[in-house]
Amino acid sequence: MKSFVKVFFVGGLLSYRALFNWIRPSIYIPTLLGGPLFQILFFTYLGRYATDESDQFFVVGNAIQVSALSAVFGMSMAVANERWYGTLGPILASPANRAAIFLGRALPVLANSAFVSAFGFLVGVVLLDFRPGWDAVPALAVIVVASSAGSTALGMLLGSIGLRAKDFMFAANMANFLLLLFCGVNVPLDVLPGWMQAISRCLPLTHGIMAGREIANGEALAGVGGLVWTEIGIAAAYAAAAYVVFRILERESRRSAVLDSL
């Protein structure tokens, strides 16, 4: 158990620092804070003139969705880059617990995506007409973490697939825009076509955004417990699928070296 915890926390942190050594203020701020800032401002001001929705509708939707920017890309890179940087072989040869190695990479990414989402809410408070009240902050924090876990798990799945695919960054880009389109971020779910609504309910963020809007409207956390648990369940399902794909590819690599060639 001690070994598992050490690999999970220390290994995850070290791998994050190694794979993301390019992260410094001159890149981090415009990429992971500047992008969300302008996304929230753009859709909120557009919504003011094109719809009857309040600033709150767009701030909550986009502040939660921007967590996917760092989570999907970050987690995809945290897994798939092991192959592209030539470090996957030593990892697969190590006797360390695979779940600890795999899941440990998600913790720093999840924390970073939750921070980006919290920054998005701060933008809404400072620059837009978003005033949820202090009593809503703890509940929104829970929803941010749950939603960040969902988008991180999606990135984990894409990263596992990226161990074998040649252009996983295209898939990460596509996933980020699909979440923006399908999850009711800027368009209410009930006006989307039925097939889009069905898909959206199987994606991360959808239920988190719904819960966040209810909280911003004055609902208590207990009143959106079903939505939050659904979001957590979706995150767990994607994480489990990602781990299964990872183990299958690991087994195939030992048999036919499919992960050794780029």
What percent of the chain shows pLDDT beyond 90? 46
C-alpha–C-alpha distance, residues 207 and 232, integer Å: 9
Query: Look-up: residue for tokens 């767009």?
Result: 58
Alpha-carbon 149 to chain mean position? 6
**Residue 27: per-residue pLDDT:** 72
- In this structure, the dihedral spanned by the alpha carbons of residues 177, 182, 184 and 185, taken in order and rounded to 10 degrees, is 0
Asked if residue 11 belongs to a domain, the reply is: no
Asked if residue 40 belongs to a domain, the reply is yes
Place of tokens 């069905």: 198
Rama region for 191: left / alpha / beta (φ>0; ψ in -120 to 50; rest) = alpha
Range list of H helices, the chain:
2-6, 12-19, 25-28, 35-50, 55-65, 67-84, 88-93, 98-104, 106-127, 137-162, 168-182, 194-200, 206-216, 225-256
pLDDT digits (tens, 9 = 90+) for 142-158: 999 999 999 999 988 98
Cβ atoms within 10 A of the Cβ of 190, count? Answer: 7
* Structural domain harbouring 186: 32-254
Q: Within a domain: residue 94?
A: yes
How far, rounded to the nearest angstrom, does the alpha carbon of residue 207 sit from its chain's CA centroid? 14
Query: Is residue 117 in a domain?
Result: yes
When comparing pLDDT for 80 and 192, which is higher? 192
Cβ proximity of 152 and 75 under 8 Å = yes
- Whether residue 171 is contained in a domain is answered as yes
Please state, in angstroms and rounded to a whole number, the distance separating the CA atoms of residues 249 and 169. 19
pTM, two decimal places: 0.87
Q: Report which DSSP code applies to 201.
A: T
User: How would you classify residue 203: left for phi > 0, otherwise alpha for psi between -120 and 50, otherwise beta?
Assistant: beta
Q: Is residue 18 part of a domain?
A: no
User: Which residue has better confidence, 82 or 137?
Assistant: 137
Q: Rounded to an integer, what distance in angstroms lies between the CA atom of residue 92 and that of residue 129? A: 50
Q: Lowest-pLDDT range, 50-54, 211-215, 258-262? A: 258-262
Cβ density class 204-243: b for 16+ within 10 Å, e for less: bbbbbbbbbbbbbeeeebeebeebbebbbebbeebbebbb
- Asked if residue 136 belongs to a domain, the reply is yes
For 135, the 3-state DSSP assignment is helix
pLDDT at 23: 61
Report if residue 53 sits inside a domain.
Answer: yes
Query: What would the pLDDT profile of 238-257 be if each residue is shown by its tens digit?
Result: 999 988 888 887 777 666 65
Give the chain's domain count.
1
CA distances from 215 to 18, 127, 192, 225 (A): 38, 20, 23, 11
Model confidence at 76, pLDDT cuts 50, 70, 90, reads confident
Give percent of the chain above pLDDT 70.
77
